Structure 1
Amino acid sequence: MGHVISKEGISTDPQKVKAISDLPTPKNAKDIRRILGTVQYLARYIPNLTSTAHPLQNLLKKDVPFTWAESQKTAFQKLKDAIAGSPTLAMYDHRKELTLENDASEYGIGSVLLQEGKPLAYASRTLSPAEQNYAQIEKELLAITFGLRKFHPFTFGRPVQIITDHKPLVSITKKPLCKAPRRLQNMLLKVQEYSFEVTYRPGLEMLISDCLSRAPVRATDNEEEETVSNIAYTPFPAHRLQEIRAATLTDPVLARLKVAIIQGWPDQKEKVPTGILPYFNYRDELTVQDGIIMRADRIVIPQSLR
């Protein structure tokens, strides 16, 4: 697929876009897969491309019969319209400051590369089933590592300003590596070669990356990376870990704590539920590993077992 380079920036080749716009209605899953594969190169131009294509992607799921309903018909037409109106991306300038905006949702992560507020490229991917169980801070850091590595030709060897709407990430990236939970350590080690600074910005001001994380491109198998769990390093025998896991499940305070860890903490301390308030000051060190709450490499023991 071609691109047109002009003084305004980089845009899609009108002739190539017309070829996609003239595609006939797909008749089976193979046609859907071919169409989605053809338009994937436009993901760098259109932030919500995968969101538009979602009804079509559903037809690729196992045990889902191929039914061309109104939702698929509408999505197919919207997809063509989005392609026809794809925007022009700014051209990279090594003299200008480089910004990487990232966000994570329940099931996806997204990044957008910008200079002077103008997008250079977009990227997103779905989270694997294991990653969907990560704490929110882990998902947010995963989005940063994804963005830095996805745009490696631009981000390597120069300062990068990283924008996140997850405030605890700012402090965790400034602490010594040994102070971070093991999974966060693993992620941070993967981006040690990059020079970056993390800055907080409220989510309402990060519409592009937020949209990308909520409409991600489906990840390929080699993009789904597994990390070693802290539980493997604990001195507890298996039956003891099972006791802790079961007690954590029935502990009302730890149940609320797990929700805060996985879904994200309130921005203000005053909004934190009373029962989990004591954990707020070190919230960025807390993770959930296989049903057990960890503070760095230490297990948070339920009240009934203390």
Structure 2
Amino acid sequence: MIQHKHLVAAPPRLQRMLLRLQPYSLTIVYRPGKDVPVADCLSRRPLGPPEHIPLDLQINFVQFAPDRLSQLKEETAKDAEFAALREVVVRGWPERRRDLPRHLQSYWAFRDELAVEDGLILKGERILIPKSMREYILSKLHESHQDIEKTRLRAKASVYWESINDDIEDMVKDCTVCQERKPSQP
């Protein structure tokens, strides 16, 4: 339930709501629409095309240059899996995991953290990277030729994809510069 979610694990929009509700002691109870005597405007909203509701959300992509950010938006728009994921995030998740297409089921575990902003899909404060840009992002993460853990920490601050930890490990193990400078085993 929403009020039991950890503040750090929640997306920014939910974090703001949870912070505003902290001074109050409340209990959330579901009531079906037929039991609500006076309906609010959202429960009786006519169905129509979805509207874009501007949120007081500001995302700062400090890690990306403007041209790379626009390239990232273009590649995200081209990726078929991300297009389907974006649609599910915007329209709403189904009740059960098995109701999702198979290629989106891996996102079920952190569905509450996903958000769409300015053409990008976010997992909390991290940007989901499409397959076409992963190689470039990996090279930028490992630009300073630090070890596996340092590279993972850099990635954890800004980017995400399913197999990011394995990809980082493989890249560092294959890096000739890192292998030359690695301390030898006693």
Q: Which TM-score bucket, shorter chain as reference?
A: 0.5 to 0.7
- Report the TM-score, using the length of structure 1 for normalisation: 0.37
For 1:284, the equivalent position in structure 2 comes to 112
- Report the TM-score, using the length of structure 2 for normalisation: 0.59
For 1:245, the equivalent position in structure 2 comes to 73
Shift of the 199–294 alpha-carbon distance from structure 1 to 2, 3 Å rule, reads: farther
Q: Alignment identity in percent?
A: 35
For 1:268, the equivalent position in structure 2 comes to 96
Shift of the 229–211 alpha-carbon distance from structure 1 to 2, 3 Å rule, reads: same
Task: Measure the CA separation in 1 of the matches of 2:18 and 2:115.
Answer: 15
Shift of the 225–191 alpha-carbon distance from structure 1 to 2, 3 Å rule, reads: farther
**1:230-241 mapped onto 2 (5 Å cutoff):** 230=59, 232-241=60-69
**1:176-187 mapped onto 2 (5 Å cutoff):** 176-187=6-17
CA displacement at 1:247 relative to structure 2: 0.9
Counterpart check, 1:297 vs 2:117: no
Q: Secondary structure at the match of 1:242?
A: helix
The answer to whether the 8 A contact 1:287-1:293 is kept is yes
The answer to whether the 8 A contact 1:245-1:291 is kept is yes
Larger radius of gyration: 1
The answer to whether the 8 A contact 1:229-1:289 is kept is no
CA displacement at 1:251 relative to structure 2: 0.7
- Structure 1 runs, 4 residues or longer, greater than 6 Å off: none
Task: Point out where structure 2 has 5 or more consecutive residues left out of the alignment.
Answer: 47-52, 135-186
Q: Secondary structure at the match of 2:4?
A: coil
CA displacement at 1:177 relative to structure 2: 0.9
For 2:33, the equivalent position in structure 1 comes to 206
For 1:197, the equivalent position in structure 2 comes to 27
CA displacement at 1:173 relative to structure 2: 2.6
CA displacement at 1:181 relative to structure 2: 1.4
CA displacement at 1:285 relative to structure 2: 0.5
Task: Measure the CA separation in 1 of the matches of 2:125 and 2:7.
Answer: 13
Task: Measure the CA separation in 2 of the matches of 1:244 and 1:210.
Answer: 43
Task: Measure the CA separation in 2 of the matches of 1:210 and 1:304.
Answer: 47
CA displacement at 1:182 relative to structure 2: 1.6
Of 42, 48, 57, the match for 1:228: 57
**1:136-151 mapped onto 2 (5 Å cutoff):** none
Q: Secondary structure at the match of 1:304?
A: helix
